[in-house]
Amino acid sequence: MPDLPPALDAEVERLWRTACARVAAGGAGALFNGRVFSADVISPTAIMGHLTEFRRIVAQMERTDLYAELAVRLLAVCGVLCCADGVVFGRRHAGAIYQPNMWQLPPARSVDAHAVGADGVVALGRQLLAELQEELGLAPDDVDAPVPLCVVEHPGSHVSDLGMALRSGLDGGAIRAAHAGRGNGEYPTLRIVPIEDLPGFLAEAGDAVVPPAPVFLARAGLVHTNKWRN
């Protein structure tokens, strides 16, 4: 992680403090300047990158033009959790730092230093399953092994989301109970959408759905209209 020029570092710190105050005031918790994974190279067979500080990511989210100087591409893992009753959607907290109040496919989180092994290999599937347990209260044994789908990069923030399909034999009631009893509150609202209702839900929710979600659903073979294919 290279040092920043003093003027740029000061602007990053200003944006970070402003974002921290806003998130805290909105009731979405506290931001932590941990180490997260920034992708340098994304290819069909491998993703390579480095660890950087989260405040640089946040600063770039706040001012997308800073990409020219910071050049960070946050890598996040996102699940497409299909259960017996349909696909699980979670609505993000209204005070979240990124994509507030939007419908997302949980579990989802930025890849952090805990996913990096001693050999430098990043265990993306393990990170996703850890988030499954933290956000939804489900154990890794409740789902089949994650299956990678594709990466979608946001053109403004340059956040790169890796979609991974998850399948569970649990029904919607069991998932809601796990979320209510053991979840961390990341998603105040959870919704199970039957597969046959997915096109209607996406059309109704419109821009309230995070952009990668329809792409991941199409890659997983859960929606089939050309509108949602990239």
Q: Is the pLDDT of residue 230 over 70?
A: no
Residue 140 maps to a domain = yes
Give 226's pLDDT tier (boundaries 50, 70, 90).
Answer: low
Give the CATH number of the domain where residue 28 resides.
Answer: 3.90.79.10
pLDDT over 70 percentage in the chain: 97
Distances (CA, A) of 204 to 69, 82, 85, 148: 38, 20, 20, 27
pLDDT for residue 131: 95
Compute the mean pLDDT over every residue in the chain, rounded to the nearest whole number. 94
Which structure tokens are listed for 166? 């998850």
Q: 114 is in which domain, residue-wise?
A: 6-228
The three-state secondary structure class of 212 is helix
Residue 13: CB atoms within 10 A of its CB come to 14
Average pLDDT over residues 63-90: 97
pLDDT of residue 93: 92
Q: Is residue 85 part of a domain?
A: yes
Task: Report yes or no on 40 lying in a domain.
Answer: yes
pLDDT in tens, 185-221: 899 999 999 999 999 999 999 999 999 999 999 999 9
Q: Is residue 47 part of a domain?
A: yes
Task: Tell me whether the omega of the peptide bond preceding residue 199 falls within 30 degrees of 0, making it cis.
Answer: no
Instruction: Average the pLDDT over 107-127 and give the result.
Output: 92
Number of domains, the chain: 1
202 within domain boundaries: yes
pLDDT of residue 224: 77
1 falls within a domain? no
Higher pLDDT: 117 or 87? It is 87
- How high is the pLDDT of residue 9? 97
163 inside domain: yes
Residue 7, burial from CB neighbour count under 10 angstroms (0-12, 13-18, 19+): exposed
Q: Is residue 198 part of a domain?
A: yes
Question: Looking at residues 160-165, what average pLDDT do you find?
Answer: 97
Q: Which pLDDT value is given to residue 225?
A: 53
CA-based nearest residue to 123, from 155, 99, 145, 92: 145
* Overall pTM surpassing 0.85 (yes/no): yes
